[in-house]
Amino acid sequence: MLPDWLLPGRPDPLGAHWDGLGVNFAVFSAHAEQIDLCLFDPAGRREMARLPLPECTDEVFHGYLPEARPGLVYGYRAHGPYQPEQGHRFNPNKLLLDPYGRQLQGSLRWTDALYGHRLGAQRADLSFDRRDSAAAMPKSVVVDDAFNWGDDRAPMVPWDRTVIYETHLRGLTIRRDDLVPRERGTFAALADPPVIEHLQKLGVTAVELLPVQAICQDRFLVQKGLRNYWGYSPLSYFAPEPGYLSSGALDEIRVAIRRMHAAGIEVILDVVYNHTCEADMLGPTLSWRGLDNASYYRMNPEDPRQHIDETGCGNTLNLSHPRVLQMVMDSLRHWATAYRVDGFRFDLCSTLGREAHGFDPASGFFDAIRQDPVLSRLKLIAEPWDIGPGGYQLGNHPPGFSEWNDRFRDGVRRFWRGDDSMRPDLAARLTGSGDLFERRRRRPWASVNFLAAHDGFTLEDLVSYEHRHNEPNREDNRDGHGENFSANWGVEGPSDDPLIRDTRDRLKRAMLVTLFASHGTPMLLGGDEFGRTQHGNNNAYCQDNEISWLDWSLAGSEAGIELSHFIGRAAALRRRHPTLRSTTYLHGRTEPLPGIPDIAWFDADGHALTPEAWNVPQGRTLALRRAGPTEEGGVEVTLLLLNAGATPVDFVLPPPALHWTLLLNSAQPQAEEAAVNGPVLTLAARSACLLAALPLSQEATP
C-alpha cells in the first residue's frame, strides 16, 4: 500500500526515477502554480490518488513517493493561468504525460475532452474545457533500465566504410511470413537472423530506423481511416512506440540492438525534436502544452497566442530555452546509454539550429551536442532544411554532422534521365560534393548520398512513374513532391514490355553503381534492393499497409535476387577499393603514380575534358579516374565510366596504358570480373562500368 503523501524529494534528475526504496518525481514548469502527481491502477483506467508535488526548486516541481516501484502508472495535472493571449494554457482537468516518461501504458483515444478549450466554441481557444481527459489518455510508467549487456561492443564503423540502410521498423518485417505473427513489425523481428543475414549480404553497416519514439496517431488521419505510418508526430521523446514491442518489454529493444552489434551493424534512430504532436493553438493538450506552453514552444512575440510554425506541423520546440534544450539532450543521452544506439538522424535539423536571428551553426543545440562526451562520438546526421525563412541549409551544418544531400539525389536522377548540361553537377556529386561541404575541415562523408528515401519515390518507382500517384492519401493528389526528376520510359506504372523493363532495370543498376562509386556516405532505401514499389505514391506517410510495407516475395524473385546480389557486389568493391570512398577531397594536385593525378576527368574519346567540353549540353558520357594508396601500402587506380545516352558508346581508356580489370558492369550484372583487352571498351546504352588497374610498366610502379 503506497502512502498518500509525498516527501520533498529532489529536483534532479528530471522524470521518474526509482532508487530501490521509492520513486523521485521531478518536472519542469516555469509558469505553473501547482503540479499534481496522479497515480493510476496498473491498467491505467482508474485514478487512485492525486498528490500535489510538495516542492519547487529552480522552476522544477518535485516529490518523492516511498515504497513506489517500477510499473507504477502515473500522469500529471498542472494548475496555473489559462491566458492563451499570454501564451499560458494551464488546465488541471487535462491529464498530462510526463515529458521524461520512459514507457507508456495504454493508447490515445480521440475525444473532444483532450483539448484545453471547447471545440466549436465561438471564442475558439480562448474558451475553457472542464472535462477530465484521463480516460482518453495514455499514461506514463516508472521503469528500471537495468540490463545485462554482456560483451556488447559498439561496432563503431568508420564513416568512410559506412553503408546506411534506411527503413521503417514495422514495414521492414510485417510481411515476413517466416516470423511469428506477433513479432512481425517489431524490434524482436529486427533481431531475427534472416533479417540480419540479408543486411550483411547487402554490405549494410548501419540501419537507420524511421521514428520509434512514441507516436501520436493524428486525429485528422484517424478520421480518414489512415494512420501516421512514418511517425513524425512525437508523443514522447523518451518512451518507445508501444506497438513496436511484441512483448511489451523495453528489453526487446536492447536485445535487438545487442544482436545487431554482434553482426557488426549499427543502429541509427530518426528523431523528431523540431515539433510535437500538439499542433497549433487549436491542438490538443497532452503534455508540454499543459505543463508550460510558453516555455516549450516558440511563440509569436507580437501575439503569444500563436505558435511560430517553421516545421509545417503547427508548432516549433523552443530549443533556445535551457530546459527545453536539456530535455532534448537528456532524451538523446537516454537512447544512447539505456539502449546503446549508435547515432541519430535529426528530422528538420535546420529548425534545431534556429536562434532568434535565424539558423546558426553555432546555436545552443549544436554546441551542446558537439561538446557532449557521449553524443559527440556518435553518428550524427542532419536533414538540412525546414519550411521557415532561410530554411535550406545544405552544407552549412557544423563539423561533426553529416547531412542528407538532396543535391546528390536530384543530380544523379537528372543525369541518368538524360537531362542536358548535367556533367558539371554530377562531377561534384561523385567527389563528395566538396562545393557544399569542403569547409571547416569537414570530410567527404559529411555528404549522405542517396537515390531514394522514405520521402519520395522508391528506386523502382523512380524509373516507372513520371507523376506522383498519391490518391490513397485522400488529399486530392496535392501532397508530395511535384518534381521527382523521374521518367517512366514509355508506360506509366508497371509494364510487361521487355524493352521497357530492361531499360528500367539497367537504369536502376547504373544509378546504384553511381551511388557506391561516389565519395560520401551511401544510403539505400529499404526494399530498393529487390524492386519495392509504392505504386507511384511519393508521400506514403499515412499508408500503414501494403503500399509501404516491404514485399519479401520480391526478394525471392529472380529479379530481386539478381539486384540484391548486384548491390552486395557494389558494396564489396567499395570496401575493397579506398579510392571509391576517399577520406579527403581530391583536386588533381598530387600524383600517386607518375603522370596519374589523384583525380582526372575524361570524355569518351579518352581526352581530358576541356572547359568547353564540360558545358556541352548534350554531354551524356563521363569518365572519372582516381588514384590513391591502398591499405596494404601500394597504389590503386580506378576508372568509372558512365553512359547516360540511348546508344552504346566506345570509350577510349585514358592514357597512360594500364592493365585494366572490369569489376562491375551495370549492363551485364552477372558478369564476373575480367581483364579488359585493348584500349577501347564499349559501354552499353544507359549503363555504368567500374574498372581497376595496375601499372603496365615497371617505371610506373610505386
Among 445, 397, 405, 453, residue whose Cα is nearest residue 425: 405
pLDDT of residue 695: 57
The one-letter code for the residue type at 603 is D
Phi and psi of 17, rounded to 5°? -130, 125
CA distances from 30 to 113, 292, 299, 304, 315 (A): 25, 7, 15, 16, 19
For residues 390 and 440, give the distance between their C-alpha atoms in angstroms, rounded to a whole number: 21
Compute φ and ψ for 561, nearest 5 degrees. Answer: -65, -40
Count of beta carbons in the 10 Å neighbourhood of residue 16: 24
As beta bridge partners, residue 47 has 40
ω into residue 52 within 30 of 0, thus cis? no
Instruction: Please choose, from the candidates 241, 244, 252, 165, the residue with its C-alpha nearest in 3D space to the C-alpha of residue 201.
Output: 165
Ranges of the chain with pLDDT below 70: 695-702
Q: What is the pLDDT of residue 682?
A: 97
Nearest to 494, CA basis, from 533, 529, 455: 533
Q: What is the structure's pLDDT at 1?
A: 78
Per CATH, the homologous superfamily of domain 584-693 is Golgi alpha-mannosidase II (2.60.40.1180)
The whole-model pTM stands at 0.97
C-alpha distance from residue 528 to each of 292, 369, 542, 577, 689 (Å): 44, 33, 20, 24, 20
Catalytic residues: 347, 383
For cell 551524356, name the residue.
620
Query: Cell numbers at residue 124, please?
Result: 475558439
pLDDT at 633: 87
Would you state the cell numbers that stand for residue 74, as one nine-digit string?
502515473
CA atoms within 13 A on the CB side of 290: 31
> Would you say 70 and 53 are in contact if contact means Cβ atoms under 8 Å apart?
no
- What is the residue-wise DSSP string for 196-241? HHHHHHHT--EEEESP-B-B---HHHHTTT----S--SBS-SSSBP
Per the document, the length of the chain is: 702
Q: Which residues pair with 270 in a beta bridge?
A: 345
Residue closest to 379 by CA, chosen among 348, 405, 403: 403
Give CA–CA dist 469/676, Å, rounded: 44
Under CATH, which number does the domain 15-142 receive? 2.60.40.10
d(CA 608, CA 614): 10
Tell me the three-class secondary structure of 4-43, residue by residue: CCCECCCCCCCEEEECCCEEEEEEECCCCCEEEEEEECCC
* Residue 150: how many other CB atoms lie within 10 Å: 8
Instruction: Give the closest residue to 380 by CA, choosing from 257, 270, 462.
Output: 270
Q: What is the rounded CA–CA span in Å between residue 618 and residue 604?
A: 13
pLDDT at 632: 87
Q: d(Cα 128, Cα 327) in Å, to the nearest integer?
A: 29
Other Cβ atoms within 10 Å of 337 Cβ, number? 12
Kindly write down the DSSP assignment for every residue of 553-601, as one continuous string: HHHTSHHHHHHHHHHHHHHHHHHH-GGGG-SS---S---SBTTB-SEEE
CB 544, CB 472: distance < 8 Å: no
Cβ contacts of residue 626 below 8 Å, gap of 6+?
A: 579, 580, 582, 586, 598, 599, 637, 638, 639, 640
Q: Are 621 and 649 a contacting pair, CB within 8 Å?
A: yes
Radius of gyration of the chain (CA): 27
Taking every pair of Cα atoms in the chain, the longest distance, rounded to a whole number of angstroms, is 89
Distance CA 447, CA 474 (A): 35
Q: Report CA dihedral (40, 46, 49, 50) to the nearest 10 degrees.
A: 90
User: Are 15-142 and 584-693 the same fold in CATH?
Assistant: yes
| Predicted local confidence at residue 697, as pLDDT | 43
Torsion angle in degrees (nearest 10) through CA of 443, 448, 449, 453 = 180
| Parallel, antiparallel or unpaired: strands 354-355 and 299-300 | unpaired
What residue segments make up the domains of the chain, in order of their start?
15-142, 584-693
